[in-house]
């Protein structure tokens, strides 16, 4: 049997293999966590009425994909609706529905087409047309919205 620095070749090989497996497992765990985090947020859109149809009120238009964030597509800082949604455990509740998160005079339910607060995940409740974005005070020119963060410069 060969010895290197007082340890057998087999034991050193076993330690090297164990170290390699540890590094691989660590990388797999990090990858799995990142994958879960990155794919979780789009699923939140399915937890609110009309979540896949919230319009971007900025001149660029389109759909506001990250409904609970000031950035329309990539998440980041949460807007008032995102804060309220998080406080309910990311669940559409009657209380969240009746709240006016962005303080523009319309409840979240009115803005998302569920003024009666009857929608639930998986339900077939007929929804009204959207009346706005629940986390952005609109119209931007309204007196109630004058102190809102300028979201259109980045969207």
111-123: b or e for each residue (b if 16 or more CB lie within 10 Å)?
bbbbbebebeeee
pLDDT band (50, 70, 90) for residue 22: confident
pLDDT over 70 percentage in the chain: 83
Between CA 56 and CA 155, with CA 147 as vertex, the angle to 5 degrees is 25
pTM of the model: 0.73
Distances (CA, A) of 64 to 27, 52, 77, 125: 33, 8, 14, 22
pLDDT over 80 (residue 29): no
Residue 28: exposure state from Cβ atoms within 10 A (0-12, 13-18, ≥19): exposed
Distances (CA, A) of 137 to 36, 42, 87, 101: 31, 22, 20, 9
Which residues is 71 bridged to in the sheet? 75
pLDDT over 60 (residue 36): no
Residue 88: exposure state from Cβ atoms within 10 A (0-12, 13-18, ≥19): middle
pLDDT band (50, 70, 90) for residue 28: confident
Boundaries of every domain in the chain = 3-41, 48-155
Report pLDDT for 65: 93
pLDDT over 60 (residue 123): yes
pLDDT over 90 (residue 47): yes
């Amino acid at each position: 049997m060969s010895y290197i620095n007082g340890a057998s070749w087999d034991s050193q090989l076993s330690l090297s293999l164990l170290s390699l497996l540890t590094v691989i497992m660590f990388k797999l765990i990090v990858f799995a966590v990142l994958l879960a985090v990155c794919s979780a947020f789009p699923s939140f859109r399915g937890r609110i009425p009309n979540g896949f149809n919230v319009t971007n009120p900025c001149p660029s238009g389109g759909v506001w994909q990250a409904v609970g964030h000031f950035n329309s597509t990539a998440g980041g800082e949460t807007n008032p609706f995102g804060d309220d949604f998080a406080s309910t455990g990311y669940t559409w509740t009657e209380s969240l529905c009746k709240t006016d998160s962005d303080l523009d005079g319309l409840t979240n339910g009115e803005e998302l087409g569920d003024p009666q607060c009857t929608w639930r995940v998986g339900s077939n409740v007929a929804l009204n047309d959207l009346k706005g974005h629940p986390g952005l005070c609109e119209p931007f020119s309204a007196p109630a919205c004058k102190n809102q963060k300028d979201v259109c410069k980045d969207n």
